[in-house]
Structure 1
Amino acid sequence: MHPSVHGLRVLLLPALLAMAACGGAKAPAVAGVEAADGTALPFTVTPVHAFKEPWAMAFLPDGRLLVTEKAGHLQLFDLKTGTATEIHGVPQVDYGGQGGFGDVVLHPDFANNRVLYLSYAEAGQGDTRGAAVARATLALDAAGGGTLQDLKVIWRQVPKVEGRGHYGHRMAFDRTGKLWISSSERQKFDPAQDMASNLGKIVRLNDDGSVPADNPFASQGGVAAQVWSLGHRNVLGLAFDAQGRLWAQEMGPKGGDELNLVERGANYGYPIVSNGDHYDGRDIPDHPTRPEFAAPKITWNPVISPAGLLIYSGSQFPDWKGNAFIGGLSSHSLVRITFDGGNAHEAARYDMGQRIREVEQGPDGALWLLEDGEDGSDGRLLKLTPAA
């Protein structure tokens, strides 16, 4: 386990906290951003807007921002005017617990085809539900709003189960145009090892939802053909590095949060192994006891509760190019990761004072965060720029 860097804290002035919570016009940059020991932090934090329980965001080519709100709303936010307009035609979500609207990503050729992808919790028969991914075309109007057209569900978790936790449903496109989706194990443990289910897996699809013929388990057919890797618990971040390698972070059980390098056909061991234990105190054997399972590159205990993953490629923070950033929920943090080939290390941890749900890179290379807005409350959109 790699040691964490502690003691960094963002000190937000109470008046600015109140201003940002109102969700009104853009607030000024936060004054007095400093570490607990009084030294300056490497960024300035600007609260920009407040959303209702936001979960994910994606920048459009024109600089506007799409933000999903967990209860089932998709907002189009104009950074120039500070106004948010709801996009219509979204799918109905099963809201509750950890479920609702999830991720939003753009097709690699969005500038030409206007296609985007949404993930969300979908109701099933009886008291069941599961994650789904829909593809749609975004039609914007002159008034600054828009509608989703030709919406079609292209992927579902199988089977739908009871409960409202561990959907995962993060998405990312690779450089070849393949769509990757994290499918968490819905707090059911064993499906992560069952190839008759796509729970507890990372899946790889074509952009239309069909299965690539070169997937590692394609010959098995069924949902197994979708699977790239298995043995995952609750994957809440996917990102490709400059070398095209896929990294995923996932929440462990009691202890044992992980950052994994995702490799073709690999089994990451859950629930057979984990560097954490069950919440009821029962032991789970650690990764070194079963070397046939792929081991994480970083584990955290105490946990950070990772949510959102970005590998930075911008120019505003040149020293951080190629670093990863992970939002922390229970840790109220932004965690910076450095890489050494296929290895990874925690380089710094910045205490943001709130649960951080999402991390994105803006068109100008700024870092953007979404606070969690837990239990229906407001979560602020924060812009991070280099400290003056």
Structure 2
Amino acid sequence: MNKTTLLGTSLLLCAGAATAADYQVETLADGLSNPWSLAFLPDGGMLVTERSGQLRLIDAAGQLRAEPVAGVPEAFVNGQSGLMEVALAPDFAESGELFLSYSCGTREANHTCLAAATFNGEALENTHEIFRVQPAKKGSAHYGGRIAFLPDNTLLLTLGDGFDYREQAQNTANHLGSIVRLNRDGSAPEDNPFVGQADAMPELYSIGHRNVQGILVDDAGRVFSHEHGPRGGDEINLIEAGKNYGWPKITYGIDYNGSQISPYTELPGLEQPLVYWDPSIAPSGMTLYQGELFPEWQGSLLVSALAGKEVRRVELKGNAAGEQESLFTELGERFRDVRTGPDGAVYLLTDSPSGQLLRVVPAN
């Protein structure tokens, strides 16, 4: 473990927000190649994905193993593409099953893919693809890639619109710009909202998304997600089965060249976000903090941000968003992922060719 410790105090953005927390930041691992996702193992170790295609093991003693975990599917690595999420099955302690999202194919024809495998403590076994977004697309942007499990043991996989294919986010005949719900073997559950509809993919759970890179399911079964907007218009949404979240028919952002994407921020039948950010913070990961180390953050969404170089804390008040707080800005890092650890600490991955795994605990 790197014992470097930085002290900080969170910055309140809204008058009346909860008391700011004092914390210290420890470096657990560095030299990671654009780390993307983090999962906590039952024995106290961790798995970390690197977008460049490697799965790394940090053992229970806190040591980063020098050699990547074997058995990882080959990813198409270019631009935003590569190996993305690692997510442990709810029964991982018994089954050893985990899931990996990644981009597969070539620059001319690629997909977001999902694989299942068994982790034996050292390597992956029986790695096999269970789902592939259709159709193939060109380019290397907007893959989504986050995974969450619903209480019924099905999983949600977030997707992107492929950047150059944004109109397809309104087309139920493909998977682009959606969130899909899958059984653990990759098949479509029979009670998915679009099953039986003509010209609709049976895996679809919600549509009208741009690039969803944060998702979680709380203890009540509510699904929260966030997605990248263009210039402005990043969103947090409360996801309901079968709903249309509007992209690109409605948006609070504009195109990168300054042109208008849509004249509308709301239209009948299209869902409104709980939160939108303008200017963009580029949200990249999300956790619901339910630890004991930071009681002032209890029940809040923590959203890691790339362009914002912060973690944004968003208070929840029922099904609505409350006040916000900006965390960890003094580090000056692009944050790719944020997780609540089993110990109640907050864990961060920094987005860099030499990225870090950081642990945030209360200041002494």
TM range (shorter): over 0.9
- CA deviation string 1:108-148 (max 9, x = no partner): 10000100000001015x721111000001112xxxxx221
Helix, strand or coil for the counterpart of 1:175? coil
Which amino acid letter does the alignment assign opposite residue 112 of structure 1?
A: E
Cα contact 1:69–1:101 (8 A) shared by 2 = yes
Helix, strand or coil for the counterpart of 1:190? helix
Q: 1:34 to 1:313 in 2, by over 3 A?
A: closer
Q: Percent identity?
A: 38
Query: Where does 1:208-287 land on structure 2 (aligned, <5 Å)?
Result: 208-220=185-197, 224-285=201-262
In structure 2, the residue matched to 1:165 is 141
Shift, 1:34, TM fit: 4.2
Shift, 1:41, TM fit: 4.7
Q: 1:81 to 1:193 in 2, by over 3 A?
A: closer
Cα contact 1:298–1:345 (8 A) shared by 2 = no
Is 1:75 the counterpart of 2:56 in the alignment?
yes
Q: Determine the C-alpha separation between the residues in 2 that align with 1:42 and 1:264.
A: 39
In structure 2, the residue matched to 1:107 is 89
Q: Determine the C-alpha separation between the residues in 1 that align with 2:274 and 2:10.
A: 28
Shift, 1:346, TM fit: 4.2
Structure 1 regions of 5+ residues with no counterpart? 1-24, 141-145
Cα contact 2:310–2:335 (8 A) shared by 1 = yes
Q: Determine the C-alpha separation between the residues in 2 that align with 1:34 and 1:265.
A: 41
- CA deviation string 1:91-112 (max 9, x = no partner): 1110010000000000110000
Q: 1:280 to 1:213 in 2, by over 3 A?
A: same
Q: 1:195 to 1:241 in 2, by over 3 A?
A: same
Query: Where does 1:1-388 land on structure 2 (aligned, <5 Å)?
Result: 25-30=1-6, 32-34=7-9, 41-50=21-30, 51-78=32-59, 80-84=61-65, 85-124=67-106, 127-140=108-121, 146-187=122-163, 188-220=165-197, 224-285=201-262, 288-350=265-327, 351=329, 352-373=331-352, 377-388=353-364
Helix, strand or coil for the counterpart of 1:33? strand
- CA deviation string 1:368-388 (max 9, x = no partner): 000011xxx111111001122
In structure 2, the residue matched to 1:6 is none
Which amino acid letter does the alignment assign opposite residue 93 of structure 1?
A: A
Cα contact 1:266–1:293 (8 A) shared by 2 = yes
Q: 1:113 to 1:387 in 2, by over 3 A?
A: same
TM-score (norm 1): 0.87
Shift, 1:324, TM fit: 0.7
Cα contact 2:110–2:136 (8 A) shared by 1 = yes
Q: Determine the C-alpha separation between the residues in 2 that align with 1:210 and 1:311.
A: 28
Q: Determine the C-alpha separation between the residues in 2 that align with 1:95 and 1:165.
A: 11
User: Greater share of helix residues, 1 or 2?
Assistant: 1
TM-score (norm 2): 0.93
RMSD between superposed Cα atoms in Å? 1.9
